[in-house]
Amino acid sequence: MRIMQLDVNSIDFEPTEPEIKVHESTEKKKVSVKNALVLFTSIEKNDTEALASKAVKDAVEFAGKNKMTTIVLYPYAHLSSNLEEPQRSMNLYQYMVKEAQKSKLKIIAAPFGWTKALSLDIKGHPLAELSRNYSATAKVEKVQKGARKLDTSIVKKSDFAGLPETDHRIIGERLNLFSFQEVSPGMVYWHPNGNILLKELMSYIRQMNSDYGYEEIATPAFANIVLWHVSGHIDHYRENMYVINTDNDELALKPMNCPSTMLVYKSRKWSYRDMPIRFSDFDKLYRNEISGALSGLFRVRELTQDDAHVFVATDEQAEQELISILEMVKKLYGKFNLEYKAKLSTMPDSHLGDEKLWEKATNALKTALKKNGMEFEIKEKEGAFYGPKIDFDIKDSIGREWQCATIQLDYQLPQRFGLEYTGEDGKQHTPIVIHRVIYGSLERFIGVLTEHVQGKFPTWLAPVQVRVITISEHANKYAEGVYKKIRKDGIRAELDISDKTLDYKIREAQNQKIPYMLILGKKEVEGEKISVRSRSGKQKMGVTLDEFLSSIKSEISERKNEQLIT
Ligand SMILES: [Zn+2]
């Protein structure tokens, strides 16, 4: 982007006729402005909104410093031989105008795509004429100059020294669940143990989703920026989005699944008989959280949600769905004995759509909460920009509350995406959509749960469920047989036939919070039995392997919280 910036006593322009097919509508009227900063602007190929914002910001700052009150934006193609094609150029120009209008200055914009009569009276001071060049390539060069070989200084884990013992980051390190690496700030490296938690939690909600009639979809991480213009995210959520410039386009990494789910809905025709339609997904999402807000698993930049969108035809259907979603929340949080608080967030200042629909949606959420006998408090003006929401907050080990489940009722996005279904009357109608997550961010949920149980996950979640331990080497062969058999039955087991003392082996398994130890010595080998020791220290001798297996398998498949064998 090239800009010629002029400090003028006066500028007069008058649109005479459209110069190109792509042009803004305007009146053929003379505009006269006194004492203004004029920006003659050529938009070049690969220019981005980020560059445009920067150009506007610089001009506004310059005007502020020099006590100027008016900026005139003026499309001017003659500063560059590398011009952007007209449509995109006009879009970016209009974006600049909008950005400039956010300042307190008076903004005048000459129309794009017109031949104009022009006269200028430029001031005589040294900074009255400045030329500025904004280019997207500067950053790329800097990266290319960087290291090509792995520099050991970048392979650095985040340091959690000094955190309390109860913090999920300390427990996570001890149980080898995950790490944070400095090359990916705010993003989780899941180790095998932590990845088991992620997978088991997903499989639990997947089963619940299927019971409640949800179908799972998956959509791309990237989408052209136009999608986010339609959804309104660019206007309301841009500061949290990662926008990526390619040769021809601007792409954004998805911070939410809603827009792409709208596209899946839109890809076929629906009838009122198909409703409600329930789409779930587990795609990774990307949100540019400021680094000061990052906090272990509680707030990350790359996250996984148990997201879902339910499309309904009528308000009655919406209410029914809200009631069953709240029922899912109760079941799921009950499973983990988690205490939660419901909060109803109302219309924010920056919102889409008319206030009557907002009121209707807010009331529907209230009714569903009341019908579920759930107490709630009101958070004024904290709804999403497209609809009111119910949030469920859970406490961490030091009493901070973290928002986990969220349910939003939305009349706006379906309208913006032109979604339709054929009603009973044969006519086309717009559905209502309910956005919902129950765990919320799986990362955050695992953080909260880890602190809640202090690493003692119920058996169905525990990364290692059983450790087979020998008292002496006489039992090694028998132990290997037991270990193989329980692994074959799908139990996550480990074998410890090292020559460490029994006490040491038990202590190690306890530190790892492994639910069961099978302790095998001479007596067990001879009687073809096992001794079972739970992590709470209770021991049961003379158990047959089949008894143990049938008991642990039902504990796991029923996702029991308490240990069955104690
Ligand atoms: Zn959504």
Q: Which domain holds residue 220?
A: 158-449
Percent of the chain residues past pLDDT 70, beyond the cut: 96
375 shares a domain with 438: yes
- Position 455: which residue type? G
CATH of the domain at 10: 3.50.80.10
- Please count the structural domains in the chain: 3
| pLDDT, position 547 | 94
**Is 356 part of any domain?**
yes
* pLDDT tens string 278-300: 999 999 999 998 877 788 999 99
**C-alpha distance across the termini of the chain, in Å:** 71
- The alpha-helical segments, DSSP class H, found in 105-217 are 137-144, 168-174, 192-211
**Is 366 part of any domain?**
yes
Give residue 245's pLDDT band: very low, low, confident or very high (50, 70, 90). confident
pLDDT at 511 over 50: yes
* CA-based torsion, 503, 507, 508, 510: positive or negative: positive
pLDDT at 322 over 90: yes
* pLDDT tens string 15-54: 999 988 889 999 899 999 999 999 999 998 888 888 898 8
* Mean pLDDT confidence for 247-255: 89
pLDDT at 224 over 70: yes
| pLDDT, position 142 | 42
Give residue 543's pLDDT band: very low, low, confident or very high (50, 70, 90). very high
Task: Give CA–CA dist 418/414, Å, rounded.
Answer: 6
Ligand 1 is a single-atom ion; what residues have CB below 5 A from it? 258, 435
On the question of a cis peptide bond just before residue 192, with omega within 30 degrees of 0, the verdict is no
320 shares a domain with 292: yes
Chosen domain end from 393, 423, 449: 449
Task: Give CA–CA dist 301/287, Å, rounded.
Answer: 5
258 Cα to the center of ligand 1, angstroms? 4
**Is 193 part of any domain?**
yes
Task: Give CA–CA dist 428/5, Å, rounded.
Answer: 52
Let me know if 465 is a catalytic residue: no
Task: Give CA–CA dist 511/504, Å, rounded.
Answer: 11
**Is 233 part of any domain?**
yes
**Residues 494 and 468: beta-carbon distance below 8 Å:** yes
CB-side exposure of 566: number of CA atoms within 13 Å? 6
Task: Give CA–CA dist 319/321, Å, rounded.
Answer: 5
Task: Give CA–CA dist 75/24, Å, rounded.
Answer: 11
| pLDDT, position 108 | 95
- Least confident range of 1-15, 115-129, 486-500, 549-563: 115-129
By residue count, the chain amounts to 566
Let me know if 307 is a catalytic residue: yes
409 Cα to the center of ligand 1, angstroms? 10
Let me know if 435 is a catalytic residue: yes
Q: What 3-state class would DSSP assign to 536?
A: coil
Q: What 3-state class would DSSP assign to 134?
A: coil
Q: Which of 168, 281, 305, 306 is catalytic?
A: 305
- Least confident range of 215-229, 239-253, 452-466: 239-253
For residues 494, 496, 501, 507, the Cα torsion angle rounded to the nearest 10 degrees is -10
Phi, psi of 107 (to 5 degrees): -115, 125
Q: What is the DSSP string of 66-79?
A: TT--EEEEEE-GGG
513 shares a domain with 442: no
80 shares a domain with 137: yes
203 Cα to the center of ligand 1, angstroms? 21
* Mean pLDDT confidence for 217-236: 90
- Least confident range of 17-26, 126-135, 215-224, 376-385: 126-135
| pLDDT, position 185 | 87
Let me know if 7 is a catalytic residue: no
What is the overall mean pLDDT for the chain?
Answer: 90
**Is 147 part of any domain?**
no
**Is 565 part of any domain?**
no
Query: In terms of C-beta density within 10 A (0-12 exposed, 13-18 middle, 19 or more buried), how is residue 349 classed?
Result: exposed
| pLDDT, position 153 | 55
pLDDT at 152 over 60: no
Let me know if 436 is a catalytic residue: no
3-state helix, strand, coil in the chain (%, to 5): 35, 30, 35
Phi, psi of 275 (to 5 degrees): -80, 150
Query: In terms of C-beta density within 10 A (0-12 exposed, 13-18 middle, 19 or more buried), how is residue 424 classed?
Result: exposed
222 shares a domain with 99: no
- Which is more confidently placed, 548 or 127? 548
Task: Give CA–CA dist 518/531, Å, rounded.
Answer: 6
- Which is more confidently placed, 290 or 551? 551
What single-letter DSSP state applies at residue 164?
-
| pLDDT, position 139 | 45
- Least confident range of 77-86, 201-210, 442-451: 77-86
76 shares a domain with 168: no
CATH of the domain at 375: 3.30.930.10
Let me know if 389 is a catalytic residue: yes
Of 203, 242, 236, 198, nearest to 221 (Cα)? 242
Let me know if 287 is a catalytic residue: yes
Phi, psi of 373 (to 5 degrees): 60, 30
Task: Give CA–CA dist 411/358, Å, rounded.
Answer: 8
Task: Give CA–CA dist 254/301, Å, rounded.
Answer: 11
- pTM comes to 0.73
Q: Which of 7, 47, 306, 307 is catalytic?
A: 307
| pLDDT, position 136 | 59
Task: Give CA–CA dist 466/459, Å, rounded.
Answer: 9
94 shares a domain with 45: yes
For residues 347, 350, 353, 359, the Cα torsion angle rounded to the nearest 10 degrees is 10
